[in-house]
C-alpha cells in the first residue's frame, strides 16, 4: 500500500468519524446543559424544603391561644352563626337586643378586559346587617367594643331614626367582614 492510499484511508476514516461523532458532541452539550438545569432545580427544591421546615418549626412554636386568636382574626369561613353570636354577646353586655339580621356576599371584582384582569383577592367578604334600639351612649359603647374585638369588621353604613322622646334611637348598621378563601 502506498503512502497516498494510507493518507486517503486516514482522511476517509477521520471524515466518517467526524460525520458520526460531531452531532453527538452537540447532543452531549445539550445533555450537560440539562444536567445543570436539573442540578439548579434540585438546589431550589432543597432551599424550599429547608424554608418549609423552618416555617413549620416556627408554626409549631406558636401557642394554641395565639392560633385561636389568628383563627378569629383570619377565619377560613364566614361562620355566620358564630359571628352573629359574638356580636349579640357584645350587644347584650350593653343591654342591646339585635333584630332583623341579614347577610349578603360581596362580589369579587371583575376585570375590565382580558389583558388587564383584576387580581384575585385572597379573601372573601360579606355584608352583615342588623337593627336594634338603644340610646346613643350605648351605641357608642357597643361600637367601641366591636372595634376592640379580634374579628375584622368594617362599618359600611349606619342609619339612625328617632324612636320616641326617651332618647332611644333605631339603628340599622351594616358591617363588612372577611375570611380567607
Task: For residue 105, give the nearest of 80, 84, 88 by alpha carbon.
Answer: 80
Q: What is the mean pLDDT of residues 105-128?
A: 71
Q: Has residue 52 got a pLDDT over 80?
A: yes
CA atoms within 13 A on the CB side of 132: 22
Residue pair 127/86 in contact by the 8 Å Cβ criterion: no
Coil, helix or strand for 38?
A: helix
CATH number of 75-107+122-180: 3.30.70.60
Q: Bigger pLDDT: 67 or 116?
A: 67
Instruction: Give residue 82's pLDDT band: very low, low, confident or very high (50, 70, 90).
Output: confident
Instruction: Give residue 122's pLDDT band: very low, low, confident or very high (50, 70, 90).
Output: confident
Tell me, what DSSP letter sits at residue 93? T
Q: Has residue 109 got a pLDDT over 60?
A: no
Coil, helix or strand for 160?
A: strand
β-sheet with 153-162: strand ranges across? 99-105, 123-135, 168-180, 153-162
Average model confidence (pLDDT) for the chain?
A: 84
Q: Which three cell numbers stand for residue 131?
A: 337593627
Name the range with the highest mean pLDDT among 69-83, 91-105, 109-123.
Answer: 91-105
What pLDDT sits at residue 55? 93
Cα separation, 31 vs 33, whole angstroms: 5
Phi/psi for 105 (5° steps) reads: -75, 145
Spans of all domains in the chain: 1-61, 75-107+122-180
- Give per-residue pLDDT as tens, 126-180: 899 999 999 899 999 999 998 888 888 888 999 998 877 788 899 999 999 888 8
What pLDDT sits at residue 54? 94
Amino acid at each position: 500500500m502506498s503512502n497516498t492510499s494510507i493518507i486517503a484511508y486516514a482522511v476517509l476514516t477521520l471524515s466518517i468519524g467526524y460525520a458520526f461523532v460531531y452531532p453527538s458532541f452537540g447532543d452531549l452539550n445539550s445533555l450537560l446543559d440539562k444536567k445543570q438545569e436539573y442540578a439548579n432545580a434540585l438546589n431550589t427544591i432543597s432551599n424550599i424544603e429547608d424554608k418549609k421546615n423552618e416555617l413549620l418549626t416556627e408554626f409549631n412554636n406558636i401557642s394554641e391561644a395565639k392560633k385561636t386568636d389568628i383563627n378569629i382574626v383570619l377565619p377560613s369561613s364566614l361562620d355566620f352563626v358564630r359571628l352573629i353570636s359574638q356580636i349579640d354577646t357584645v350587644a347584650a353586655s350593653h343591654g342591646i337586643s339585635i333584630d332583623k339580621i341579614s347577610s349578603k356576599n360581596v362580589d369579587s371584582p371583575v376585570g375590565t378586559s382580558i389583558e388587564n384582569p383584576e387580581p384575585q383577592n385572597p379573601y372573601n367578604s360579606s355584608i352583615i346587617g342588623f337593627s336594634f334600639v338603644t340610646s346613643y351612649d350605648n351605641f357608642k359603647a357597643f361600637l367601641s367594643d366591636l372595634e376592640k374585638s379580634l374579628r375584622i369588621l368594617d362599618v359600611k353604613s349606619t342609619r339612625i331614626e328617632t324612636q320616641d322622646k326617651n332618647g332611644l334611637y333605631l339603628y340599622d348598621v351594616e358591617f363588612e367582614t372577611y375570611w380567607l378563601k
